[in-house]
Amino acid sequence: MAELSVIGASHRTAPVEVRERLALAPDQAARVLAAMHAETTFDEAMLVSTCNRTEVYFVPRAATDPLAYVLDHVGRVKGARPEVDAEAFYRHDETDAVRHLFRVAASLDSQIVGEHEILGQVKDAYRLAVDARTTSALLNKLVHWAFRVGKRVRTETDLGAGSASVAAAAVDLARHIFSNLEGKTVLLVGAGQTAETAARALLRTGADRLIVANRTLYRGQQLAHDLAHMPADGGEGDAEAARRPPAADAVGLDAIGEAITKADLVITATDAAEPVLTWQALSDVLRARRSALLIVDIAVPRDVDARLGDLDNVYLYNIDDLDRLVERNLERRRLETPKAEAIVAQEVRQFNRWLASRRAAPTIRLLQKHLETIRTRQIERYAKQFSDADCTQLEQFTQSMCKQVLHAPLDMLKRLSTDATPSKRLAAVDLVRQLFDLDAIDDEQPR
Amino acid sequence: MLGQPRPAETPYSVTARRGIISGERPVRFHARRDRGVIGCEKGNAMADLLAIGNWLLPLLYLALLVDYGTTFFLRTRTEARSPWLGVAVAAHLVYLVVRGVHLGYPPVTSAQEIASVLALTTAGVYAWVELASRDRRTGVFVLLLAFLFQYTSSMLLAGRVAEASEITPGAVGVWARLHVVPALVAYTALGFAGVYGLLYLLEHRGLRRRRFGVLFDRLPPLEVLEPMAWHALLTGFVAMTVAIAAGPLLLQAEGGEMTTKVLTKIITGSVAWVVCAVAVLGHWVGKWPASRTSAIAVVGFLVVMALMIVSGLLS
Chain B residues closer than 8 Å to A161 by CB: 75, 217
Average pLDDT for chain B: 80
A7 by DSSP, 3-state: which? strand
Lowest mean pLDDT segment, chosen from A420-434, B5-19, B99-113: B5-19
In Å, what is the CA distance from A28 to each residue of A22, A32, A41, A232, A351?
A: 11, 6, 19, 21, 31
Could you give the CA distance from residue A435 to residue A412 in angstroms, rounded to a whole number?
15
Which helix (H) or strand (E) segment holds residue A297: the answer is: strand A293-297
Q: What angle do CA A196, A200, A206 make, to 5 degrees?
A: 145
Active-site annotation holder among A25, A51, A232, A401: A51
Across the interface, do B210 and A321 touch by the CB < 8 Å criterion? yes
The strand pairing partners of A103, in sequence order, are: none
Q: Which segment, A97-106, A192-201, A279-288, B303-312, is predicted with the most confidence on average?
A: A97-106
Q: What is the pLDDT of residues B101-119, one digit of tens each?
A: 888 878 877 778 888 999 9
- Please report the pLDDT score of residue B251 as a whole number: 81
Nearest CA in chain B to A174: B221
Please determine, for residue A277, whether its predicted confidence score (pLDDT) is greater than 90. Answer: yes
- Please report the pLDDT score of residue A232 as a whole number: 57
In this complex, which of A176, A290, A309 lies closest to B203 when CB atoms are compared?
A176
Task: Tell me what the mean pLDDT of segment A340-358 comes to.
Answer: 91
- Chain mean position to CA A403: 48
Nearest CA in chain B to A169: B212
Chain A residues closer than 8 Å to B75 by CB: 158, 161
The residue among B29 and A146 whose pLDDT is bigger is: A146
In Å, what is the CA distance from A263 to each residue of A105, A178, A189, B151, B273?
A: 38, 13, 11, 48, 37
Please determine, for residue B12, whether its predicted confidence score (pLDDT) is greater than 50. Answer: no
Taking the CA atoms of residue B169, residue B174, residue B178 and residue B183 in that order, the dihedral angle to the nearest 10 degrees is 20
The residue among B311 and A127 whose pLDDT is bigger is: A127
Task: Tell me what the mean pLDDT of segment B143-157 comes to.
Answer: 91
The residue among B75 and A115 whose pLDDT is bigger is: A115
Could you give the CA distance from residue A10 to residue A49 in angstroms, rounded to a whole number?
10
Confidence of residue A65 (pLDDT cuts 50, 70, 90): confident
Work out the end-to-end distance of chain A between its first and last CA atoms, rounded to an integer number of angstroms: 29
Chain B nearest C-alpha distance from A331 (Å): 12
Could you give the CA distance from residue A103 to residue A117 in angstroms, rounded to a whole number?
14
Task: Tell me what the mean pLDDT of segment A180-193 comes to.
Answer: 87
Please determine, for residue A184, whether its predicted confidence score (pLDDT) is greater than 50. Answer: yes
Query: Quick one: angle between helices A360-382 and A422-435, nearest 10?
Result: 20
Across the interface, do B223 and A292 touch by the CB < 8 Å criterion? yes
Q: What is the pLDDT of residues A210-234, one digit of tens each?
A: 999 998 888 888 888 888 887 655 4
Nearest CA in chain A to B225: A179
- Please report the pLDDT score of residue B80 as a whole number: 57
Could you give the CA distance from residue A60 to residue A39 in angstroms, rounded to a whole number?
11
Across the interface, do A161 and B203 touch by the CB < 8 Å criterion? no
Please determine, for residue B36, whether its predicted confidence score (pLDDT) is greater than 70. Answer: no
- Chain mean position to CA A22: 20
Confidence of residue B22 (pLDDT cuts 50, 70, 90): very low
Q: How many CB atoms lie under 10 A from the CB of residue A404?
A: 9
Across the interface, do A176 and B208 touch by the CB < 8 Å criterion? no
Lowest mean pLDDT segment, chosen from A83-97, A378-392, B268-282: A378-392
In this complex, which of A161, A290, A315 lies closest to B207 when CB atoms are compared?
A315
Report phi then psi at B145, rounded to 5: -65, -45
In Å, what is the CA distance from A405 to each residue of A368, A378, A399, A400?
A: 10, 16, 10, 9
Region class of A437: left (phi > 0), else alpha (psi between -120 and 50), else beta: left
Task: Tell me what the mean pLDDT of segment B209-236 comes to.
Answer: 89
The residue among A135 and B259 whose pLDDT is bigger is: A135
B84 touches chain A (CB under 8 A): no
Between A and B, how many CB-CB pairs are < 8 A?
42
Residues 197-236 of chain B with CB under 8 A from chain A are: 203, 207-208, 210, 212, 216-217, 219-224
A252 by DSSP, 3-state: which? strand
Average pLDDT for chain A: 87
Please determine, for residue B165, whether its predicted confidence score (pLDDT) is greater than 70. Answer: no
The answer to whether residue A51 is catalytic is yes
Across the interface, do A313 and B212 touch by the CB < 8 Å criterion? no
Nearest CA in chain B to A180: B223
List residues of A whose CB lies inside 8 A of any B CB: 158, 161-162, 173, 175-180, 290, 292, 309, 312-313, 315, 317, 321, 324-325, 328
Confidence of residue A425 (pLDDT cuts 50, 70, 90): confident
In this complex, which of A162, A179, A328 lies closest to B223 when CB atoms are compared?
A179
Across the interface, do A176 and B291 touch by the CB < 8 Å criterion? no
The residue among A36 and B16 whose pLDDT is bigger is: A36
Which helix (H) or strand (E) segment holds residue A1: the answer is: none
On whether ipTM exceeds 0.90, the answer is no
Nearest CA in chain A to B211: A325
Mutate to test the interface with B, among A159, A176, A318 (most CBs of B within 10 A): A176
Of A295, A184, A168, A179, nearest to B221 (Cα)?
A179
Please determine, for residue B37, whether its predicted confidence score (pLDDT) is greater than 70. Answer: no
Residues 153-182 of chain B with CB under 8 A from chain A are: none
Across the interface, do A292 and B222 touch by the CB < 8 Å criterion? yes
Please determine, for residue B39, whether its predicted confidence score (pLDDT) is greater than 70. Answer: no
Length of chain B in residues, anyone? 315
Could you give the CA distance from residue A57 to residue A36 in angstroms, rounded to a whole number?
12
